Chains A and B, each alone.
Chain A
Amino acid sequence: MPQYFPPNVNAFVRWSILGGGAFLVALLIALPIYARTVNNAVGVPVEQPIAFAHNLHVTQLGIDCRYCHSTVEVAASANVPSSHVCMTCHSQIRLGAPQLEALWLSWEQDLPIRWNRVHDMPGFAYFDHSAHLTNGVGCSTCHGRVDQMAGMWKTEPMTMGWCMECHRAPERFLRPRSEVFNMAYQPPSDQLTLGRELVVAYDVNTNKLIQCSTCHR
C-alpha cells in the first residue's frame, strides 16, 4: 500500500495543532480586550456642538436632572432636551453668545441640535431608565458625578460584565427611591443589609435579573 502522505506532513500536523491552539488562545485574549476597549472610552470626553457644562447647570444653578431629562422616570430613554427647553432660560440669558451658536441655529431653523451620543447601547440590549429608577438604582451609580462634570463622558465601561455585577447582586447597589436623584449619595456602611431590604421592598425579581431575555429580547 502506497504512502499517501510524505513524512513532512507530520510536521505540518504538529504545527497546525500548535498554531490552531495558539490562535484560539490569542482569540480568547484578544476578544475581551477588544470588547473592553474599542467599545468603551471611559473617561474620554465626547466633543459636542455646544460645550454644555453639567457642573454649571446642576451644581451652581441647582437645576434638577429632570428639568431637562424629563422622561427619565417614565420612559426607557432619558431624553436629551429639545432646543425649546434650552431656550426656556436662554431666550433671556446669554443672548447671542457665540458658544451657543448651535442653539441659535437650531431655534431659527426649527431643527434639533446634533448632539453626539455618549452612551451608545448596542442594538441587541434593551435598557429602560424608568425601571432602574423605580427599583432604586441612582443616576450616579451608572453615570458617576455628572453634576461635577464640565463635559460629558462615560464613567463606567457599560459592558455586559459590568451590568451583571449589579444584576447578579442588586443588593450591593440599590438605594432608597428617595435618594436616586441625589448625586452626592454615599451608600451606608451596612449597604448589604439595606440592599437586601430594598430588594424585598421593591419586589425586585432577582431570578429574572439574570435571565438572558430580560435584556436581550
Chain B
Amino acid sequence: MRAKRAPVLLRLAAVVAAGGLLLAGCGRNMAEQPRVEPLQESSLLPGRSGSLTPPEGTVSRQRGGIDPVFFTGQRDGALVTELPVELTLGLLQRGQERYDIYCAACHGYVGDGDGMIVRRGFPRPASFHEQRLQDASVGYIFNAATNGFGRMFAYADRVPAEDRWAIAAYVKALQLSQHAHADDLPAEVRRSLELERSAERASR
C-alpha cells in the first residue's frame, strides 16, 4: 500500500508546484511601469526629478498670452498703475481667497503684517496700511508677489500671474477697507449695517 500511495502524493505535489509556478508569473510590473511619475526620482533628468521646470524663455499658454505687462507688471520698464485684467467682484473674491492662502500667513488677514508666521519669528513685513504702500500702485504689489521683496520669496512658482493680479487688486481693496468712511458705502450696505448695529444694541 505504502509503495502505491507515495507516487500519488508526489503527483499531487507536482500539481501544487505547477500552480505555484503559475502564481510566480504574478508580479508588480503593471503597477510599476517603466515610466517616470510626477516627482519620481530619475537620474536621466536634470534636477533628478520627474517634475521638470519649463526651460528659460518658455511662453505661457495661460490667459495673457505673451503680453509682457500681464506677466511682469511693467510697461517699458515702469510698474503699471492699472490692472491689465477687468476689475470685477469675482476677481476681488478670487483675490481674497488666494490672499488668505498665500499671503495671510505673514501679512495677516487684514494686511497689517501680524500673521502667524511673523508671531513665530519671521521679520515683520510693512503694513499695507502705511502711507507708502497705500500710495503704491497695483503693479508694485504684483511685482512684489512675482519677484519677492526683501526677505519675502518670489511667489511666481506657486501663484499663477492671473491670481497674482487678483491678489494685487484685493490688497488695494483691503487698503481701502481700512480707511473707508461710512459715507463711502452704497446706501443699501449702509442701511443693513445700521440695522445690524441697532439689533446689536437692542440685544445688549
Contacts and interface: CB of A to CB of B under 8 A. Distances in A.
| A, B in one complex | yes
Given A16-B12, A19-B12, A89 B116 contact: no
Contacts of A15: 8, 11-12
Interface in A64-115: 64, 66-67, 70, 76-77, 79-80, 82, 84-85, 87-89, 91-93, 110-112, 114-115
Given A64-B100, A67-B101, A114 B41 contact: yes
A79 B31 contact: no
Interface string A46-69: 000000000000000111101100
B33 A88 contact: no
Give the dominant DSSP class at A's interface.
Answer: loop
14 contacts: A8-B4, A12-B11, A16-B11, A63-B116, A66-B101, A67-B102, A70-B158, A80-B39, A88-B152, A89-B105, A89-B117, A92-B122, A111-B47, A123-B30
Interface string B144-171: 0000000111000111000000000000
A132 to B, nearest CB: 16
B32 interface: yes
A112 B48 contact: yes
Contact of B8 (A11, A20, A82, A91): A11
A79 B159 CA distance: 13
Given A64-B101, A91-B151, A123 B33 contact: yes
Interface residues of A, number: 37
B101 A89 contact: no
Interface of B: 4, 7-8, 11-12, 15-16, 19, 23, 30-33, 35, 37-39, 41, 47-49, 51, 100-102, 105, 116-117, 120-123, 151-153, 157-159
B8 A12 contact: yes
A82 B157 contact: yes
A76 B51 CA distance: 13
Contacts of B122: 89, 92-93
A66 B31 CA distance: 28
Nearest to A65: B101
A212 to B, nearest CB: 14
A12 B157 CA distance: 70
A93 B120 CA distance: 8
Contacts of B47: 110-112
A23 interface: yes
A40 to B, nearest CB: 13
Contacts of A80: 39
A63 B47 CA distance: 28
B151 A92 contact: yes
Contacts of B30: 122-124
A91 B117 CA distance: 12
B159 A70 contact: yes
